[in-house]
Amino acid sequence: MNIFRLAGDMMHLFSIIVLLLKINATRSCRGVSLKTQELYAIVFVCRYLDLFTSFISLYNTTMKLIFLLSTFTIIYWMRFHKVIRVTYDREQDTFRYQFLILPCFLLALVLNNEFSAMEVLWTFSIYLEAVAILPQLVLLQRTNNIDNLTGNYVFLLGSYRALYILNWIYRFMTEPNYRQYLVWISGIVQTIVYIDFFYYYIRSWRNNEKLSLPA
């Protein structure tokens, strides 16, 4: 565990806490994409199947459980909570995510490190995570008034990805046999997806304006 990895994980954790707090405090999930949350649920379920087969550390297990539990909580609130579900932007959140899921799964069947159920599902989760934020970014683009917390949520998620790249560079330089090309390429793609958002986020912050993304 190096400082970049820890900082990245913490950003990921903070992003989820920000989202939970926002929805819970305002009783509203306005501007939050249910599709992105459901994609993350698929990502976490497929990736953390190893909770049942291998133990890495208490830290690792705890974080996995937090990510799973929090994502399912958000989905439950958005779908079933009496007050919150009414605030969901159903008509705006129309990204057809089956067009992300199917190609990612087919790619995982072809491009993987080992052709086993666990490893294919793990690889699928890596590919799917790279594009899981897209429905959220599209929804933000359609929302005129992005509230601070939703903006911060996406910014923290993007920071987590950027820090993971530094983590990989650090590990590559310090660990003799550390290589994971599929993860690196997907991670770089995932970070590139955020660049446009980062630009407008930082600009609105410097100019002290409300964040809005051009259509």
Partner 1 sequence: PGEGPVHDEL
* Contacts with partner 1, residue ranges (CB under 8 A): 5, 9, 12, 47, 50, 53-54, 56, 60, 63-64, 67, 113-114, 116, 118-119, 122, 164, 167, 183
| Closer residue to partner 1 in complex, CB, 67/197 | 67
Question: Least distance from C-beta 119 to partner 1, angstroms?
Answer: 5
| Closer residue to partner 1 in complex, CB, 5/85 | 5
The three-point CA angle 95-205-200 to 5° equals 35
The closest of 67, 30, 72, 70 to 51, measured between CA atoms, is: 67
Q: Is 159 exposed, middle or buried (0-12, 13-18, 19+ CB in 10 A)?
A: buried
| Closer residue to partner 1 in complex, CB, 42/139 | 42
DSSP-assigned letters across all residues of 20-50: HHHHHHHT--TT--HHHHHHHHHHHHHHGGG
Question: Least distance from C-beta 41 to partner 1, angstroms?
Answer: 15
| Closer residue to partner 1 in complex, CB, 136/167 | 167
Say which residue the tokens 């920000």 belong to.
18
Question: Least distance from C-beta 68 to partner 1, angstroms?
Answer: 11
| Closer residue to partner 1 in complex, CB, 17/63 | 63
Enumerate residues 6+ apart whose C-beta is below 8 A from 163. 4, 5, 7, 8, 11
Token pair, residue 57, equals 């550390």
Question: Least distance from C-beta 60 to partner 1, angstroms?
Answer: 7
Token pair, residue 210, equals 């409300």
Alpha helices in 111-213 (DSSP H): 117-131, 134-142, 148-174, 181-206
Question: Least distance from C-beta 164 to partner 1, angstroms?
Answer: 8
| Closer residue to partner 1 in complex, CB, 70/87 | 70
Question: Least distance from C-beta 85 to partner 1, angstroms?
Answer: 29
CB 167 within 8 A of CB 8: yes
